[in-house]
DNA sequence: TTGAAAGCGCTAACAC
DNA sequence: GTGTTAGCGCTTTCAA
C-alpha cells in the first residue's frame, strides 16, 4: 500500500488533521509544523488519495471529456494538445468517459457523478445529436467546443467562423473574383450556419450579389468535396473561385477541377478551411483558414476551471480568431 | 447529490449490503430480491460512486495513460481510436495523468497510486528517456507501446518493424533497384534498431551488399528527411531508391529530390512509413508501410486488462503485422 | 439469505 | 495551533 496521511502524521509527530491542513493550505498552522510536514510529504513522496478526497466531497481534480466523434477525430488531437498545459497548470487530470456511448440509456450525467468529475468538456456534437437537457440541469460546469450552448453553468468556445469565411471571400474578391462559390459543410450545424452567414456577408461587402446556385452543402469529407465540385462545374456560369468548408473538401474539389481538365489556381481558385497538416503539402499548397485549435483547447480548460471555481461566473461564449494562411491555391481572376 | 446506495436500499426495502452484493454479482442473494434491486437501480439510474469503490480497495476501473510526446502526437489519435472500443467493452475509463511532466521529481507511480489506476499504458518513450525502474517495481500492470519493456507486470506491443522495412526493401528490390538507401529514424531507439535490422535483412535477401554510406539517420521529421536526402543526393553513387523511417521524412526527401531537378518516382523511388493521412494526398501519392495503430490501441487495452485480471499472466510481447500500401512513389529502376 | 458494522483515506467541524 | 471525531459511499467480514 502506498503512503497515506497517517504515515505522514506519525512521522511528523502531529495529527492527521494537521497534515491535512497544511496540504490544503490552511493558514492556521504553525510555520515550523508546516515546514516539517511539507518536508516529510516530499521525502515520503506522499500524494493524497484522490478517491478519498473526492469522497469526502472535496475536489476530485478531474475534468471529464465527452465526444461523439470518438477519440480519433483529427482536430481533437490539436485540441488535446492545447488542453495539456492548462491541465497541468490547474492541476487537473483529464478523464475520457468511455462507457458512455456504449449504452444510450445510461445517463452521461450519472457517469460524471459516479466519477466525481468537476467539469466537462464536450466536443463534436450538433444540437440535435443529443438532448443536453439533463446535463444542463445537473449544474455540472460544462464547456462546449463548437456548439453554442449557453445556459446555467454551461458555456462554449468556438472559432470565429463567420469572420473566417468572410475573410476568405474578401481575399478572393480582392483577387478580382466575382463568381465565388461556397462549398459549405453541414449548413445546418452551428458552425455551418455561421460560415454561410460569413459567406453572404463577405459577398455583400464586396458588392457581389448572392446566388443560390453557388452554394452547395456537404459533410466536410474529401469525397463530398469532389462530388460537390462536379456539381459546381456543371453550372453553365462556372464559378472562378470556391471557398470550402474544410481542407479535405478543398482537396476533393481540386481533384474534380483537374479531372475536368482545368487547373488550380489558373482556372479556379480554391480556399480551404482548418489548415490541417496536409494543407501545406498538397499540390498546389492550399490557401486556407487556420483554426487555432490549441488555443481553443487551452481556453476550454481555463474556462471550465473558471466555472468550477467561481459559481458566479457567467457562462462564457468565447470566440477565437482565425488566420488566413495564403499559399498557392488562389490566383487573380482572369479578365472577364 | 446523486442517488447513492442507501437510497436504493431504502427504496428496495433491503440493506445497503444486499444492494452492494447484487451490484457485485454475489450469488448468495435471493432471486426476487436481486431482481427488485436491479429494477430499482435501473429506474433510479443508480451508478456506484467510483471514488468510494476505489477507496474501499476494490476496482477503480481506471486505466492511466502516460505520454512523452504530449497528447498531440499524430499517431496517438489513432491509437486512442483503437483503445476506445476495448475500453468500453471492458468498462474502463481512461485517465490522462497530466500533472506528471510538470514536476520531474514527482513520481509517476505516486500519481498512479493517488488516482488508483489499475493499469497503465505508456507511449512515446525511448529507453533512456526515463528510469522506469520504479514503475516496474510498483507492480502496476503496465503496457508499453513501441518499447520493448518486459518484466514483472509490464509487457509491450509494437508493429513488426523489422519485417515492415524488410518488406519495403523487397518491394523496391523487386522493382530492380539495387542502390537502395535507408533514410532511417532514431537508429538507436527500439523501433529504429529493428528497422535497420529489417533493412539489412531485406538487402541480404535480395542479394544486395550493405553499404554504410546508404544509411542516414534522422528524427522522423520532414525537415530531417529533406536534409538527409540532400546528403544522399551528394553521394557520387546516388541511390535510385530510398526507404524512409516515416512518411514525413519521405515527403521531405521528395522535396529535396525535386529541388535537385530529379523526379519521383522516375529518377528515385521513395517508400514512406506509417501511412499517415497525408500519404495518400501528396504528389506522388506515397507508397508506404501502414502501421495498424487501431489494433495496437485495442490490444494495448486488452493486454493491460489481462495483466490486471490475471496475476499469473506472463508479460506480453505482442507484435502487430504491417501492410505495404503501394501507391505511386516507386517505379522500376531504369536500366543501369 | 440478509443485515449490522467496521473501515478504506481523507476533510472539516468542533473542542481544547 | 492542534487534535478528536464524524462521515463521504461503498464493500466485506461476521453474526443472525
Indicate if the pLDDT at residue B124 is higher than 50.
Answer: yes
* Percent of chain A predicted with pLDDT > 70: 95
Query: pLDDT tens digits for A276-297?
Result: 877 887 889 999 999 999 999 9
In sequence order, what DSSP letters do the residues of A154-206 get, joined into one string?
EEEEEE-HHHHHHHHHHHHHHTT---EEEEEE-TTSHHHHHHHHHHHHHHHHT
DSSP B152: T
User: Nearest CA to A331 among A260, A242, A246, A203?
Assistant: A242
Residue B149 — pLDDT band, cuts 50, 70, 90? Answer: very high
Q: Any idea which residue has 528517456 for its cell?
A: B129
B29-81 per-position pLDDT tens digit: 899 999 999 999 999 989 999 999 999 977 899 999 988 766 556 677 788 88
B329 contacts B271 by C-beta, under 8 angstroms:
yes
Closest-lying nucleotide for A46 based on CA to C1': C9
Nucleotides of D under 7 A from a protein CB: 1-5, 7-13
Task: Read off the pLDDT of each residue in B247-261 and give the average, rounded to a whole number.
Answer: 94
CA pair distance A178, A183, nearest whole angstrom: 15
Q: CA–CA separation, A137 vs A133, rounded Å? A: 6
Put residue A102 in one of left, alpha, beta given phi > 0 → left and psi -120 to 50 → alpha.
alpha
Query: How much of chain B, in percent, has pLDDT values that exceed 70?
Result: 95
Chain A: give the shortest CA distance to residue B314, in Å. Answer: 23
Strands A93-96 and B93-96, sheet pairing? antiparallel
Fold of A161-292: Rossmann fold (3.40.50)
What are the phi and psi torsion angles at A266 (to 5°)? -55, -50
Contact A74/B at CB under 8 A = yes
pLDDT for res B127? 84
Class of domain B5-56: mainly alpha
- Which tens digits make up the pLDDT trace of A260-276? 999 999 999 999 999 98
Percent of chain B whose predicted confidence (pLDDT) is above 90: 69
Set of chain A residues whose Cβ sits within 8 Å of the Cβ of B52: 51, 55
Q: Which residues of B touch A282 (CB under 8 A)?
A: 281-283
Q: What is the pLDDT of residue B75?
A: 76
Tell me which protein residue sits closest to nucleotide C12, measuring alpha carbon to C1': A17
**How large is the average pLDDT for residues B76-94?**
88
Average pLDDT over residues B252-259: 95
Where on strand C do bases come within 7 A of a protein Cβ?
1-5, 7-13
Of A70, A95, A113, the CB nearest to B2: A113
Tell me the CA–C1' distance in angstroms for B16 and D2. 36
Partner-chain contact A87 B110, CB within 8 Å:
no
Q: Which of residues 77-116 of A touch B (CB under 8 A)?
A: 77-78, 80-81, 83-84, 87-88, 91-99, 101-102, 106-107, 110-111, 113-116
Hey, are the CB atoms on A92 and B98 less than 8 Å from each other? yes
The share of chain A scoring above pLDDT 90, in percent, equals 67
Rounded Cα–Cα distance for residues A291 and A145 (Å): 12
pLDDT on residue A13: 92
Work out the number of other CB atoms within 10 angstroms of the CB of residue B309: 13
Residue B102: band (very low, low, confident or very high) from pLDDT cuts 50, 70, 90: very low
Global pTM value = 0.88
Read off φ and ψ for residue A286, nearest 5 degrees: -85, 130
Q: Which of B98, B107, B114 sits opposite A87 (nearest CB)?
A: B98
- What the block records as the C-alpha cell of A136 is 444542463
Q: Could you give the residue range(s) of every CATH 1.10.260.40 domain in chain A?
A: 5-56
What's the mean pLDDT in B221-242? 94
- The boundaries of every CATH 3.40.50.2300 domain in chain B are 62-158+293-320, 161-292
- Taking each helix axis from N to C terminus, what angle separates B293-309 and B74-90, rounded to the nearest 10 degrees? 40
Helix (H) or strand (E) holding B37: helix B31-43
Sheet holding B269-274, edge to edge: B215-218, B180-185, B241-244, B269-274, B287-290, B323-325
**A-B contacts (CB, under 8 Å):** 150
Residues A56-77: tens digit of each pLDDT: 987 899 999 988 765 556 677 7
- Return the closest nucleotide (C1') to the Cα of A27: D1
Q: Which top CATH class is A62-158+293-320?
A: alpha beta
Confidence of residue B186 (pLDDT cuts 50, 70, 90): confident
Q: Looking at CA atoms only, how far is residue A94 from chain B in angstroms?
A: 5
**Sheet of A269-274, strand order:** A215-218, A180-185, A241-244, A269-274, A287-290, A323-325
Q: Which residue is nearest to nucleotide D6 (CA to C1')?
A: A56
- List, in order, residues 6 or more apart from A71 with CB less than 8 Å away: A96, B77, B80, B81, B83, B84
Amino acid at each position: 500500500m502506498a503512503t497515506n496521511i497517517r504515515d505522514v502524521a506519525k512521522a511528523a509527530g502531529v495529527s492527521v488533521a494537521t497534515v491535512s491542513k497544511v496540504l490544503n493550505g490552511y493558514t492556521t498552522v504553525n510555520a515550523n509544523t508546516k515546514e516539517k510536514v511539507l518536508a516529510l510529504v516530499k521525502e515520503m513522496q506522499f500524494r493524497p488519495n484522490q478517491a478519498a478526497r473526492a469522497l469526502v466531497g472535496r475536489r476530485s481534480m478531474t475534468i471529464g471529456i465527452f465526444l461523439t466523434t470518438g477519440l480519433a477525430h483529427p482536430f481533437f488531437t490539436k485540441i488535446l494538445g492545447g488542453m495539456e498545459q492548462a491541465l497541468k497548470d490547474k492541476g487537473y487530470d483529464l478523464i475520457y468517459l468511455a462507457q458512455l456511448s456504449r449504452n444510450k440509456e445510461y445517463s452521461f450525467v450519472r457517469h460524471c457523478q459516479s466519477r466525481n468529475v468537476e467539469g466537462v468538456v464536450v466536443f463534436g456534437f450538433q444540437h440535435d445529436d443529443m438532448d443536453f437537457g439533463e446535463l444542463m440541469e445537473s449544474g455540472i460546469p460544462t464547456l462546449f467546443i463548437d456548439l453554442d450552448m449557453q445556459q446555467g453553468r454551461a458555456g462554449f468556445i468556438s472559432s470565429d467562423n463567420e469572420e473566417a469565411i468572410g475573410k476568405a471571400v474578401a481575399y478572393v474578391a480582392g483577387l478580382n473574383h466575382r463568381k465565388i462559390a461556397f462549398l459549405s459543410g453541414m449548413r445546418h450545424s452551428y458552425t455551418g450556419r455561421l460560415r454561410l452567414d460569413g459567406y453572404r456577408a463577405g459577398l455583400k461587402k464586396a458588392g457581389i450579389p448572392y446566388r443560390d446556385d453557388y452554394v452547395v452543402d456537404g459533410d466536410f469529407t474529401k469525397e463530398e468535396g469532389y462530388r460537390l465540385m462536379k456539381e459546381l462545374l456543371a453550372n453553365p456560369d462556372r464559378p472562378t473561385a470556391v471557398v470550402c468548408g474544410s481542407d479535405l473538401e478543398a482537396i476533393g474539389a481540386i481533384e474534380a477541377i483537374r479531372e475536368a481538365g482545368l487547373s488550380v489556381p489558373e482556372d479556379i481558385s480554391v480556399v480551404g478551411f482548418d489548415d490541417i497538416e496536409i494543407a501545406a503539402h498538397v499540390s498546389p499548397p492550399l490557401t486556407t483558414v487556420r483554426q487555432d485549435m490549441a488555443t481553443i483547447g487551452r481556453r476550454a480548460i481555463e474556462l471550465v476551471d473558471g466555472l468550477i471555481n467561481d459559481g458566479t461566473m457567467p457562462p462564457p461564449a468565447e470566440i477565437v480568431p482565425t488566420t488566413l494562411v495564403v499559399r498557392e491555391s488562389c490566383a487573380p481572376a482572369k479578365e472577364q
